[in-house]
Amino acid sequence: MNIFFSKNFINTIKAIYIWLLGLSIGIIFSSGAFIASVLFYAKDFGIELEKFEAGILMTEIFSRINIFLLIIAFIITFYEILSLKLESGYKAQKSILFISSLISVICIFLFSLYYTPYIIEQQKIGEIAINTNQFLSMHKQSEWVFKILFFTLSFNLIYRILKK
């Protein structure tokens, strides 16, 4: 029997995929719940850090997270296309999972390749650029995209764990 189609190999790949989904969810959650709350409220810890400075640090963190997320987007795409073709199950369930995965990939690309570069460019202009309505709107949109990504990845993870 070919090693790539053995049950142990397939189960190992599934376990790694589920682990990567969980890792992605943890990174997204941590960036918002822990990192952002510390950076933007640094004064509570006795550190003088202006909002603009905190934003630059947060953007650097997101730039690094984006590299990881872009790799995850390609893994999700590859895995879900293979799963759609190879796994058994009801067509409707497979379609819902595939659509959720597609939304995750779109959110990753939007956040990493559209919103983050825009925010970086505005920060290069200076503090005046980040106080415009356009910047605030784009920033709010990026937050929503990140939240949608969190929920779609969570859905995919929970579905994969509960799937028999």
pLDDT band at 164; cut points 50, 70, 90: low
Quickly count: other Cβ atoms within 10 Å of residue 112's Cβ. Answer: 20
Instruction: Give domain limits for the chain.
Output: 3-162
Distance between CA atoms of 156 and 101, rounded to whole angstroms? 7
Q: Is pLDDT above 80 for 45?
A: yes
| Local structure of residue 2 (DSSP, 8 states) | -
pLDDT single digits (tens) 55-77: 999 999 999 999 999 999 999 99
Cβ pair 91, 85 in contact under 8 A = no
Share of the chain above pLDDT 90, in %: 75
CA 119 from centre of chain: 17
Q: Give the three-class secondary structure for 161.
A: helix
Q: Which pLDDT belongs to residue 6?
A: 81
Q: Is pLDDT above 80 for 90?
A: no
Query: What's the helix, strand, coil split of the chain in %, to 5?
Result: 90, 0, 10
For the segment 11-27, the average pLDDT, to the nearest whole number, is: 96
Cβ pair 80, 98 in contact under 8 A = yes
Q: Is pLDDT above 90 for 91?
A: no
Quickly count: other Cβ atoms within 10 Å of residue 83's Cβ. Answer: 17
Cβ pair 94, 87 in contact under 8 A = yes
- Read off the tokens for 57: 């640090």
What is the reported pTM? 0.91
pLDDT single digits (tens) 97-123: 999 999 999 999 999 999 999 999 999
Q: Give the three-class secondary structure for 49.
A: coil
Q: Which pLDDT belongs to residue 35?
A: 94
Cβ pair 123, 55 in contact under 8 A = yes
Q: Which pLDDT belongs to residue 131?
A: 94
